[in-house]
Amino acid sequence: MWRRHTLKSHYDVIIIGGGIHGLATAYYLAKNHGITNVAVVDKGYLGGGGSGRNTAIVRSNYLTPEGVAFYDRSLELYNTMATDLNLNVMFSRRGHLTLAHTDSALRTMNWRAEVNKLAGVDSSVIGPQEVKELAPSLDVSTGTRYPILGALYHPPGGIVRHDAVVWGYARAADHLGVELHQETEVLDILVTGGEGPDGKGHGGKVTGIRTNRGDISSPVVVNCTAGWASLISNMAGVPLPITTHPLQAAVTEPCKVFLPTVVVSGSLHVYVSQTDRGELVFGASVDPVGTYRVNGTLEFIEELAGHVLELMPGISKMRLLRQWSGLCDMTPDYSPVMGYTQVAGYLVDVGWGTYGFKAGPVSGETMAESIAIGRNADLIASFGIERFTEGDLVGEKGAAAVGH
């Protein structure tokens, strides 16, 4: 799918993180801007982080106009990805239901639907009977602990095979001349002229990176990591307002396909979709305690099963096949941190919380554009790091699938 290379001593752009964001940035740099002297470095294997651990859901029914426009461009790119990358990424546009179990949840769904419609995004609030028609296995009776009062219905949402997205971007970037370096761990980001005691931080200029395979120079270093984004950024002297939490997920044995849409319940802290192979994929809220551990817990499985069975009592005999977890970098406003920083040549594409997979294609496209034009692309102008000091937050907590 892609070649191995010896590490060169210089690249025009170095991208840290071989997940969808890093690979997409490399691909669009080469494809849209002709910048091909690019290295993507990853301490593990391509797609081994959040890109291979998410629950593969895509949607653009966000709460802020900035978020809706951004994630909608990502959906557009997902729509044509199989053709663009010449690989079947199994995008299944099957509709996305966010259930409302309380009056206040319904109010937020109506709010989101109106913001979405204004941006031309297909979203509307529907009642319990329409929910039942779209997802017959859901219990919409009124006798449950959290009766379903309605839902935000978003037909363009769906699921995509996340590994295929990694492989597609990696192979296409490789074909265009980008070098992909796995098992290449970043030990330091090299900066000169900064205000910090080590010459890093504000006012500095990036000169390259130090890796376990040697030093590489470059005028542009892009942090496209998840989970360790703030630790990597500290190496450049650019602290990030991020706390890192694990998010657990699980998958059942396959069974006959019966769930035609993605279903999310904020109050029950669960989301579920059925793969084309028939497995049910579940996710939940992030774990409450910040940590870098990614082990699964029995508590998670017990809670998940209890909540799912409240929604779909008919699946009580299904067996879980496995569980796993990934790391989510949470920002104060649930929007990402993107673009140029106080260190010249050091850019970030981080802070994705639980939204990273949805945003992969558009992040790559806009980060590549930002590098090519020397300023943040218009679509990400509101996601800059300066918003945390200027107080100009982009609050997307209300668009989170579940309460985190």
- Interaction of residue 123 with ligand PYC, rule CB under 6 A: no
SS3 300: helix
263 binds ligand PYC (CB under 6 A): no
Interaction between residue 354 and ligand PYC (CB under 6 A) = yes
Please identify, among the stretches 55-63, 146-154, 192-200, 225-233, the one whose residues bind ligand PYC according to the rule CB under 6 A.
55-63
Facing residues of 180 across strands? 40
53: contact with ligand PYC by CB under 6 A: no
Closest to ligand PYC by CB, 55 vs 382, is 55
Please say which residue, 149 or 401, places its beta carbon nearer to ligand PYC: 401
Binding status of residue 355 toward ligand PYC by CB under 6 A:
yes
Give residue 6's identity as a one-letter amino acid code: T
Q: Judged by CB under 6 A, does residue 57 bind ligand PYC?
A: yes
Which residues are paired to 39 by β-bridges? Answer: 14, 179
Q: For the chain, what is the total number of helices (H) and then of strands (E)?
A: 10, 19
* Number of other CB atoms surrounding residue 136 within 10 Å: 12
Give the three-state DSSP class for 284. Answer: strand
Which among 53-61, 122-130, 192-200, 316-324 is the span making contact with ligand PYC, rule CB under 6 A? 53-61
Could you tell me which residues come within 8 angstroms of residue 195 by beta carbon, excluding any fewer than 6 positions away?
201, 202, 203, 204
Q: Which is nearer to ligand PYC, 171 or 404 (CB)?
A: 404
Task: Rule CB under 6 A: say whether 351 interacts with ligand PYC.
Answer: no
| Binding status of residue 74 toward ligand PYC by CB under 6 A | no
Closest distance of CB 260 from ligand PYC, Å: 17
Does the footprint of ligand PYC cover residue 59 (CB under 6 A)? yes
Sign of the Cα pseudo-torsion (140, 153, 133, 126, in order): positive
- Tell me: does residue 401 bind ligand PYC (CB under 6 A): yes
Binding residues for ligand PYC, how many (CB under 6 A)?
A: 9
Comparison of 285 and 370: residue with beta carbon closer to ligand PYC: 285
Helix boundaries (H) for 259-386: 298-311, 356-373
Q: Which residues of 128-241 form beta strands (DSSP E)?
A: 150-154, 158-159, 179-181, 186-192, 205-211, 214-217, 221-223
Q: Map residues 81-120 to x or -, x wherever contact with ligand PYC holds by CB under 6 A.
A: ----------------------------------------
Residue 293 buriedness (CB in 10 A; 0-12 / 13-18 / 19+): exposed
Q: Does 283 bind ligand PYC (CB under 6 A)?
A: yes
We find the least distance from the C-beta atom of residue 265 to ligand PYC, in angstroms, to be 12
Half-sphere exposure of 315 (CA within 13 A, CB side): 32
The closest of 89, 103, 13, 53 to 364, measured between CA atoms, is 13
Distance in Å, CB of 140 to ligand PYC, minimum: 21
C-alpha 369/C-alpha 363 separation (Å) is 10
- The count of other CB atoms within 10 Å of the CB of residue 10 is 12
Name the minimum Å distance from CB 359 to ligand PYC.
Answer: 10
Paired residues of 159 in beta bridges: 57, 92
What's the distance, CA 233 to chain centroid? 18
Q: Which structure tokens are listed for 217?
A: 């120079």
* 153 in contact with ligand PYC (CB under 6 A): no
In angstroms, rounded to a whole number, what is the distance separating the alpha carbons of residues 228 and 219?
A: 22
Residues 300 to 339 in contact with ligand PYC, rule: CB under 6 A: none
| Residue from 271, 340, 352, 383 in contact with ligand PYC (CB under 6 A) | 271
Least distance from ligand PYC to the Cβ atom of residue 250, Å: 13
With contacts defined by CB under 6 A, name the span among 51-59, 165-173, 179-187, 227-235 that binds ligand PYC: 51-59
- Give dist(CA 71, CA 62) in Å, integer: 8
Contact segment (CB under 6 A) with ligand PYC among 54-62, 123-131, 148-156, 342-350 equals 54-62
Residue 169 or 271 with smaller CB distance to ligand PYC:
271
Applying CB under 6 A, which residues contact ligand PYC?
55, 57, 59, 271, 283, 354-355, 400-401
